[in-house]
Amino acid sequence: MLAVVTDSTCDLHPDRVRQLGLHVVPLHVLLGERSFLDWQDIDPDAVYDHQRGGGNVTTQPATQAAFAALYRELLATHEGVISIHLSGHLSATAEHARQAARALNAGDRVQVVDSQFASLPLAEVVMAARDAASAGGDMQAALGAIRAVQEGLRVEFTVPTLEFLRRGGRLSRTQELIGNVLGVRPVLGFDGGHLKAVRRVRAKDATRDILGQLEERFGRDPVAVTIGHAGRDPARVAELKAAVSASRLNVAQGRLQLMGPVIGAHVGPGTYGLLARPYAG
């Protein structure tokens, strides 16, 4: 049996992680001088409340020691481990995983994969690997499933306010001011593992703009759609669900995902993303 490992920026709820039989190594969330394990010691809304109150939030990668301990445990009971992580351009987590595998002299029994994603798309990649492993697939089958999802999905995010991108150093105060005056927001996407502003749109048009891109990509082909939202906001989530339902997408499967503490630390409350991928049935 192949064990599937990921990190906490996949943003799968711990209950869902247990249900799927995944193994998750947490990153660290720092609120002032206090350090918490992502998703384990702190709930996402605690981070968003702290940010709304003007508090600073920073993050640290998962440690090599945490990976080594988990790999050692899993290799005693599994034929191999596939370990799938957020983009190396966003965190040193994947490199720490590689260092742990090398230190254990695990050879081909541990394969570390840089997903080139975080949050919603990372979860999709991880679940695809898990499905392949649960069906009895070997390492190559899991790697093939990962590549198929990486190549097939499209995901974009946007933010309701520029404040937290500015706090995190992704925008200057001048860019924040201009964006607010013009009422525009960046649409963010992954490009070669980097999270970049792929275009800018008026805030009120952002959801329709992202859905238009998904419609252009997938047409009427059946798709699985994931809505991700930073913070528990039933009214806003209902609006996003309604927008997806009213779109021309042929939604065969839907999923809702709460964006977690580490991701939220960098983008802020109210950020949302829409992901679509071909539906395989």
pLDDT in tens, 224-253: 999 999 999 999 999 999 999 999 999 999
Q: Which of 4-8, 30-34, 220-224 comes out lowest in average pLDDT? A: 30-34
Give the pLDDT of residue 5.
Answer: 98
CA 70 to the chain's CA centroid: 21
Q: Give residue-wise pLDDT tens across range 173-206.
A: 545 444 554 567 888 899 999 888 888 898 899 9
Q: How confident is the model at residue 174, as a pLDDT?
A: 47
Decide if pLDDT at 281 tops 80: no
**Tens of pLDDT, residues 50-71:** 988 888 899 999 999 999 999 9
**pLDDT score of 169:** 55
Instruction: Give the domains, in start order, of the chain with CATH numbers.
Output: 2-27+62-152 (3.40.50.10170), 154-278 (3.30.1180.10)
List, in order, residues 6 or more apart from 52 with CB less than 8 Å away: 269
What mean pLDDT do residues 137-159 have?
Answer: 96
Average pLDDT for 164-176: 53
Sheet containing strand 250-258, edge to edge, reads 194-202, 184-191, 154-158, 272-278, 222-229, 250-258
Share of residues in the chain with pLDDT > 70 (%): 92
Looking at the DSSP bridge assignments, the partners of residue 195 are: 190
- Which residue has tokens 């859905």? 211
| pLDDT single digits (tens) 80-111 | 999 999 999 999 999 999 999 999 998 899 99
From residue 187, alpha-carbon distances to 141, 166, 177, 196 in Å are: 33, 15, 17, 8
Could you tell me the pLDDT band of residue 12, with boundaries at 50, 70 and 90?
A: very high
Q: Which two tokens stand for residue 60?
A: 């640290």
What are the Cα distances from residue 5, in Å, to 14, 18, 80, 256?
A: 13, 12, 11, 22
Which residue matches tokens 């490199």?
A: 95
pLDDT at 176: 44
Q: Which of 150, 145, 79 is nearest to 114 (CA)?
A: 150
The pLDDT value given to residue 180: 52
Global model pTM greater than 0.85: yes
- Give 33's pLDDT tier (boundaries 50, 70, 90): confident
